[in-house]
Amino acid sequence: MFKKRYSNLDSNARTATLGELLRWQKERFRKEKDMSYKIGQADHKQSTLLRANKEDFTITWIGHSTFLIQIAGLTIVTDPVWASSMAISGRLEEPGLSIEEIPDIDIVLLSHSHYDHLDVPSLKKLKGTPAILVPEGLGPKVRKLMKENRVYEIPWWGQVRIGSVEFHFVPSQHWTKRTLTDTNTSHWGGWIIQRPIETTPTSESIYFAGDSGYFEGFREIGKRFPGLTHALMPIGAYEPEWFMGTQHMTPEEAIQAFSDVSAEVFIPMHYGAFFLADDTPKEALDRLNAEWKRLRLDERRLRLLKHGETMFND
């Protein structure tokens, strides 16, 4: 049976070859990395408040690319991964909140099908009966896994409105694979979460970038969605850059992407939970902070969350 294969906007941003993968694996065993640094856990976790909240805007970092977002009475989780390991590598630090501590979920947003963004046991353990928003091509798999009809399959630049909140699926530069035969048979991207101006006097508008290398599409996202308040941007799994460059951003590139989309607040993610590449959480943070300082950006616009920390729109 013919399977549609998806691609990036930049035709040169190709999937790595087997030879390149083997070269990287050979090189990485020669490196010794200090993985003792921890992002840390929030001093005061808000699980009770989050379960009771029906109206306040909140963003809570669970870890890696998993966030709990509450907006307009909806509770949303992005790329739910509570797994204790990824392949043969154990989790570097526990999730900020356990899956038992979080509220019932109304919406699940999936950026793509990679295991560190779509963990089936975690998805199945979520409380509630959430609607699941997935990239084009991933719908049939998720419907089969979840035996769930409330799966919305969205193409790039497509949208769905649930309650008073709009969810727009936007491009990223990446790829997908879960088995030997399904490379790029589903798409990848990020999500814009926003309330239309006519429905609210406030202006929360979140960009969850998913997983991406740096590409020109960030500028187009900024043009199409002016006034973004929060950008959740990946900063890890970038080394070695010759291998990871088309699929993962360096911290410096993530800041450029943040500038391109013209958001107000930068919240870094995709670091500190799993050892996916050759960079460490401390290296990623050091480079991020050094570039932020070099560019003389307002320190108040960079929010470095601890695992389990909740950010309120105050």
What integer pLDDT is reported at residue 3 of this predicted model?
79
Q: Is the pLDDT of residue 28 over 80?
A: no
pLDDT digits over 125-135, tens only? 999 999 999 99
Give the CA dihedral 112, 33, 286, 291, nearest 10 degrees.
-70
Query: What domains are there in the chain, each with its CATH number?
Result: 45-312 (3.60.15.10)
Average pLDDT rounded to a whole number, residues 232-242: 95
What integer pLDDT is reported at residue 198 of this predicted model?
63
Identify the burial level of 250 via C-beta atoms within 10 angstroms of its C-beta, where 0-12 means exposed, 13-18 middle and 19 or more buried.
buried
What integer pLDDT is reported at residue 111 of this predicted model?
98
Least confident segment among 20-24, 118-122, 283-287: 20-24
Tally of CA atoms within 13 A in the half-sphere of 15 that contains its CB: 11
Question: Residue 11 — very low, low, confident or very high, per pLDDT cuts 50/70/90?
Answer: confident
Q: Is the pLDDT of residue 169 over 90?
A: yes
Q: Is the pLDDT of residue 1 over 60?
A: no
pLDDT digits over 261-277, tens only? 999 999 999 999 999 99
What integer pLDDT is reported at residue 2 of this predicted model?
60
What integer pLDDT is reported at residue 18 of this predicted model?
75
pTM (2 decimals)? 0.95
Average pLDDT rounded to a whole number, residues 147-163: 92
Pairwise CA distance, residues 189 & 211, whole Å: 7
Pairwise CA distance, residues 257 & 215, whole Å: 8
Average pLDDT, the chain: 93
pLDDT digits over 185-225, tens only? 999 999 999 987 666 656 789 999 999 999 999 999 999 99
pLDDT digits over 68-111, tens only? 999 999 999 999 999 999 987 899 999 999 999 999 999 999 99
Higher pLDDT, 245 or 282: 282
What integer pLDDT is reported at residue 124 of this predicted model?
94
